[in-house]
Amino acid sequence: MDSAEDSFDEIMAQAGNDNKFQNRYNLFFNFGAICFASMTYMSIILALNKPPHNCHVPGMERYNITDADLWKNLTLPRETDNRGLLGYSKCQMYNVTEQHLQRHYSEWQFNSSDIIDCAYGYDYDRTYYDRTPITEYDWICDKGFRETNIFIYNRLGELFGTVVFGHLGDTLGRRPVFYLSVVMITVGRLVSMFTAAYYAVFCVAAVFGSLTAHSIFQAPLIIAMEISKSERRGHISMMQCIGWTTGVCLLPMVFWATKDWFWSLLIATLPIVMFIHIPGYTIESPRWLATRGNYREAMVQLQQIAKVNGIRELPFDERVLEKRLANHRTDTVYGLASLFNGWRMTKNTVLVILCWTVCSVTYFTLVLLSSRMDGNPFLNFMYQGLIEVPAAFLGQRASDRLGRRATNASAFCVATVTCAILVLIVRDPASETAATILATFVKFCISITFFAVNLQSIEIYPTCLRQTGMAVGTIAATIFGIVGPYVVHLGTEYDVRYPFLVMGLSSAVGIMAALFLPETLHQSLPNTIEEAQKFGKEQRFWSLPKAPKSRPAGMQKNRHESDEKTEESIRLTVPEGNPVSKGAK
């Protein structure tokens, strides 16, 4: 007889675990929905981009001066920038009074005591942005931390939301959490658009939209994993990566086309709503329903999948389903605490947390840096997005051939070395192109690690804790990721080397964490806590994963014969006149 963990896989195979339904579900939700979800989620970063700026000093027209640099040279003091180069002050000016303006500018003389804060507003470089909340309400200089603080508040919102909605995904269900995630992120972004003049309200709306920032991606991914055969998990994850990357690349083009944060946010936000209901494909995970003991509804979902896959009638009914999946019933779970049930689960959870933390801090530091580097912010943002496409393909190939563990650790190692090189060259203006290429390459490596650790997070936890398990990694990543915006602030305002130093040291920690996670390639998904506690126990550290041998035809035949005998015994126990239906009623 088959082991318990194989039972649902065989049931899923009879309904079709790699057919039209799975392909269409991935196209709709793990590509289409994720594409627009990533645009909605990341839009706040580009909307809060800080254009180059200086103090506005009136009087230039009195002297018919048309050269802006000449006027800056007359009215603005000098200061060193984050590369150690001398440039014009961003937040201070010389105190040009009416007495100065009555004389020719060649007679002006200023010293350090004449330097004051900007008194007449600011001049912004509007090459790429006509309007943002920062340019409209001057969130710079003494208000410069407003932008950084909003990113911090968003991360705190993600933290709280991940705890709540990760747990709800395993108790309330994957489907309702996805619906709620779409509604909340949409409402949050739309309210933000109309409240930028009220900073506190804007922050609350931004945080509200960030509460479901992770669950909106996790729910459809987990459903797809739980209705597909194990060999397709890498492909499913790659589909979501491509969907994410497509959205990340389209978003800066929207901003570039409009040059206005309000209309860009509107265009980026509204399309996700159409994925709330797609008839025939907005299903709940039958595997999750079975672990909750809801066999009737699980049967309904299986029949829906089988129908799309061209299977008219399933060779089992609700009672057979209950009998075969009796060992899949949910253990008593206590939310996040259940992830630390036993030494092996505790070790795996801690290592997953470390990997997620390093990935998240590095990834979002690079994202924030990309729109604040010299040059076109939209192209910089898009280039770092585009690099995720080959990263997804390479990540999928490597994860499915070498294993998740080797892929994860190798990518962290390369990222560490690249960050070390960046620390040495990034302050040199002559190395700007090389620094941009290397920073993009770090993003490539981190995208590979994201791919691998995302798979591992799904595959090492039992069905009753799968979304909670994914959530705990993002929770920890969010807690430590709060430092990311401040690291970027240090890099843009003080020393450009700081972000790469932090990312390099973090990646070195990631190498060790990745090496000691169990290999999940070719392993069945654990369904109970007991199975998860044993996961990886027999694995050797230096071994590479091997594909399991295919099941002999005789064993398959015995299984079908066993199913027929089970159905026959159930029919004999049912009173006459009360036949068992072929599906849920």
For the ranges 330-334, 410-414, 422-426, 529-533, the lowest mean pLDDT is seen at 330-334
What integer pLDDT is reported at residue 234 of this predicted model?
Answer: 79
Torsional sign, CA 511, 349, 284, 225? positive
Residue 246 lies in a domain: no
Q: Is 271 exposed, middle or buried (0-12, 13-18, 19+ CB in 10 A)?
A: middle
Q: How many Cα atoms sit within 13 Å of 117 on the Cβ side?
A: 4
Q: What is the mean pLDDT of residues 482-488?
A: 74
Across-strand partners of 78? 88
Q: What is the mean pLDDT of residues 464-487?
A: 74
What integer pLDDT is reported at residue 573 of this predicted model?
Answer: 39
Residue 432 lies in a domain: yes
Across-strand partners of 86? 80
- For residue 86, what is the DSSP state? E
Residue 568 lies in a domain: no
Confidence of residue 290 (pLDDT cuts 50, 70, 90): confident
For the ranges 44-53, 257-266, 373-382, 547-556, the lowest mean pLDDT is seen at 547-556
- Report residue 257 as tokens: 């086309």
Residue 405 has pLDDT above 60, yes or no: yes
> How many whole angstroms separate alpha carbon 250 and alpha carbon 254?
6
What integer pLDDT is reported at residue 579 of this predicted model?
Answer: 36
Tell which wins on pLDDT, 84 or 191: 191
Confidence of residue 17 (pLDDT cuts 50, 70, 90): confident
> How many whole angstroms separate alpha carbon 404 and alpha carbon 544?
10
Q: Which residue has the tokens 């180069």?
A: 85
505: domain CATH number is 1.20.1250.20
Range of the domain at 504: 338-538
Residue 347 lies in a domain: yes
Q: What is the mean pLDDT of residues 333-361?
A: 80
What integer pLDDT is reported at residue 134 of this predicted model?
Answer: 92
Last residue of a domain, one of 124, 142, 159: 124
Q: What is the mean pLDDT of residues 182-200?
A: 93
For the ranges 253-262, 376-385, 435-444, 524-533, the lowest mean pLDDT is seen at 524-533
Confidence of residue 545 (pLDDT cuts 50, 70, 90): low
Mean of the per-residue pLDDT values of the chain: 82
Last residue of a domain, one of 107, 124, 141: 124
Residue 250 lies in a domain: no
Model confidence over 32-80: pLDDT tens digits?
A: 999 999 999 989 888 998 888 899 988 888 887 778 888 888 899 988 8
Provide the number of structural domains found in the chain. Answer: 2
Residue 234 lies in a domain: no
Model confidence over 220-268: pLDDT tens digits?
A: 998 998 898 878 887 888 889 889 989 999 999 999 999 999 999 999 9
Give me the amino acid identity at 26: N
| Helical spans, DSSP H, in 198-330 | 199-210, 215-226, 233-258, 261-269, 286-291, 295-308, 318-324
What integer pLDDT is reported at residue 373 of this predicted model?
Answer: 66
What integer pLDDT is reported at residue 550 of this predicted model?
Answer: 53
What integer pLDDT is reported at residue 195 of this predicted model?
Answer: 93
Virtual CA dihedral for 277, 280, 285, 287, nearest 10 degrees?
170
Q: What string of H, E and C letters represents the secondary structure of 103-146?
A: CCHHHCCCCHHHEEECCCCEEECCCCCCECHHHHHCCCHHHCHH
Residue 171 has pLDDT above 90, yes or no: no
> How many whole angstroms separate alpha carbon 456 and alpha carbon 516?
12
Residue 5 has pLDDT above 60, yes or no: no
Residue 16 lies in a domain: no
Q: What is the mean pLDDT of residues 545-559?
A: 52
For the ranges 43-52, 384-393, 401-410, 475-484, the lowest mean pLDDT is seen at 475-484
Residue 141 lies in a domain: no
Residue 180 has pLDDT above 90, yes or no: yes
Last residue of a domain, one of 124, 154, 174: 124
